[in-house]
Amino acid sequence: MTILKDLIQKRFNKIEKKNYFGYPLLDDAFSAEDISSAMEVLLSKKITMGEITNEFEYEFANYIGSKYALMVNSGSSANLLAAFALVNPLKKNHLKIGDEFLIQSLCWSTSLWPMVQAGLRPKFIDVNARTLNIDPEEFFRSITKKTKAAMIVHVLGNCSDIDLITKIGKKKNLYLIEDTCESLGSMFKNKYLGTFGSFGTFSFYYSHQITSGEGGMIVCDNKKDYQIIHSMRAHGWDRGLNKRKNNRKDFNFINAGFNLRPLDITAAIGLSQFKRLNNFKKTRNENRKKILQSLQNSKNWNNQFSFIEKNKNLKPSWFGLPILINKKYLHKKEKFLNFLNEQKVETRPIISGNFLDQPSIKLFNLNKKNKIMRNSKEISDRGFFIGLHTKPIYQNQINKLIKLLLSIDEI
Ligand SMILES: Cc1ncc(COP(=O)(O)O)c(C=O)c1O
């Protein structure tokens, strides 16, 4: 292991020397240990889901404070399992085809589609433009007798009062799924996001709080729910759930299913990175503070941008740094983002903007009444985000980044 790790480290050092300025979404977050642990799995020739996946699940559940964690091949797959668990006949009081669920219009594609694919009917609600998340009051107002579930998306490491939303959900008998794909490690009132609802889902895709390339996790506290998602992850099989002496019964399919299994290779990378999550979190928070301070203290600062508010009870684990362009400069947005891109500052929309404006919504006719979501639209129109890196940012990098951001005045 050490020889392999040293070799990889030497190779990394060679690559790093060639670096030039650029501000990508994620800097080089992989350590030699991440890569060597994956290579060890390859060398063992047991690359399919196995002991390392189990270990990662165990460590993840322990850290996050949920009874069960199940690794899958993506955050989207985690949402797929959560959605199909809600309508599964093995679940007591499961939902029925056509039941209504609430979802914010500022969401990701696969926050929405798994629920629709499971036969549930979306009712879109708007977010708060200052926090990017659903306000509890709006959540409460939107619940009717038809509402049976809610998909809450914690946007870019931030959240609203999830404690109150959970209380409202419980009172109204709703199943709550927390799409925490962008917020691994954020805590609300000292409880990790993803552990408030019936299911919490996480993504380990590139530039997320940790990354294994592809990968995801789903957590829950209910044993029956765990058995359902466990069987559905792999073909509806009960393998790994029951210890049986009779081998003939080894091919026992107790449920409908998918194949959403991760590889032990990705589990090894995920587990190795997971050990550094607290460090990543701290560094990202510090980098965010430094960038914001330098930007707002610059002599050229003229309120060109606004930034989002964090709830006072949140200890955030930031994904990126969302930025809203102020109205005076809005006509330059496209030119400005192209300019940043040319200067090697990578940007992304905030999630995918107002999802109601996406062609797929038209394709499936999910906005029959042509509802307008003012705040989500405003976030789409004004917003973008840049990355927050897992290594401390140097002052000369900050200066260069800030100069580029503030050149919105001149372009
Ligand atoms: C809110 C949200 N949900 C779900 C996903 C899907 O995760 P994955 O890319 O791992 O499938 C993403 C991806 O970025 C996301 O931002």
pLDDT in tens, the chain (411 residues): 688 889 888 888 877 655 567 899 998 899 999 999 999 999 999 999 999 999 999 999 999 999 999 999 999 999 999 999 999 999 999 999 999 999 999 999 999 999 999 999 999 999 999 999 999 999 999 999 999 999 999 999 999 999 999 999 999 999 999 999 999 999 999 999 999 999 999 999 999 999 999 999 999 999 999 999 999 999 999 999 977 666 666 899 999 999 999 999 999 999 999 999 999 999 999 999 999 999 999 999 999 999 999 999 999 999 999 999 999 999 999 999 999 999 999 999 999 999 999 999 999 999 999 999 999 999 999 999 999 999 999 999 999 999 999 999 999
Any domain includes 294: yes
Active site residue 230: no
Whether residues 131 and 270 fall in one domain: yes
Any domain includes 221: yes
- CA dist 29 and 388 (Å) reads 11
Residue 310, judged by CB atoms within 10 A of its CB (0-12, 13-18, 19+), counts as middle
Any domain includes 22: no
Whether residues 211 and 176 fall in one domain: yes
pLDDT at 224: 98
Does residue 74's CB lie within 6 angstroms of at least one atom of ligand 1? Answer: yes
Q: Looking at this protein, which amino acid is placed at residue 5? A: K
Ligand 1, from 154, 158, 182: best to mutate by most atoms within 8 Å of Cβ?
A: 182
Residue nearest to atom 7 of ligand 1 (CA): 75
Using the 3D structure, point to which of 240, 274, 308 is the last residue of a domain: 274
Whether residues 232 and 373 fall in one domain: no
Whether residues 354 and 373 fall in one domain: yes
Using the 3D structure, point to which of 241, 274, 307 is the last residue of a domain: 274
Any domain includes 145: yes
pLDDT at 202: 99
Nearest-atom index, ligand 1, CA of 208: 14
Any domain includes 2: no
Whether residues 110 and 66 fall in one domain: yes
Query: Which residues form the domain of 339?
Result: 277-409
Does residue 104's CB lie within 6 angstroms of at least one atom of ligand 1? Answer: no
Whether residues 298 and 257 fall in one domain: no
Whether residues 99 and 243 fall in one domain: yes
Total tally of structural domains belonging to the chain: 2
Does residue 260's CB lie within 6 angstroms of at least one atom of ligand 1? Answer: no
Q: What is the DSSP string of 293-330?
A: HHHHHSTT-SS-EEE----TTEE---SEEEEEE-GGGG
Nearest-atom index, ligand 1, CA of 153: 1
Whether residues 223 and 312 fall in one domain: no
Place of tokens 């940007």: 347
Any domain includes 170: yes
- CA dist 243 and 226 (Å) reads 16
Nearest-atom index, ligand 1, CA of 107: 1
Specify the DSSP element, H or E, that contains 281: helix 277-297
Whether residues 139 and 236 fall in one domain: yes
Any domain includes 137: yes
pLDDT at 2: 82
Whether residues 386 and 356 fall in one domain: yes
Does residue 108's CB lie within 6 angstroms of at least one atom of ligand 1? Answer: yes
pLDDT at 306: 97
Does residue 168's CB lie within 6 angstroms of at least one atom of ligand 1? Answer: no
Residue nearest to atom 12 of ligand 1 (CA): 181
For the chain, the farthest-separated pair of C-alpha atoms sits apart, in whole angstroms, at 76
Any domain includes 39: yes
- CA dist 124 and 366 (Å) reads 9
Residue 269 is part of a domain; what is its CATH number?
3.40.640.10
Using the 3D structure, point to which of 274, 299, 334 is the last residue of a domain: 274
- CA dist 147 and 138 (Å) reads 14
**What are the residues facing 103 on neighbouring strands?**
124, 151
Does residue 110's CB lie within 6 angstroms of at least one atom of ligand 1? Answer: yes
Nearest-atom index, ligand 1, CA of 155: 1
Whether residues 85 and 174 fall in one domain: yes
pLDDT at 17: 56
Check 154, 208, 230, 389 and give the catalytic one.
208
Whether residues 253 and 297 fall in one domain: no
Where would I find the beta strands (DSSP E) of 10-132?
A: 68-72, 100-104, 121-125
- Cβ-contact 295, 409 below 8 angstroms: no
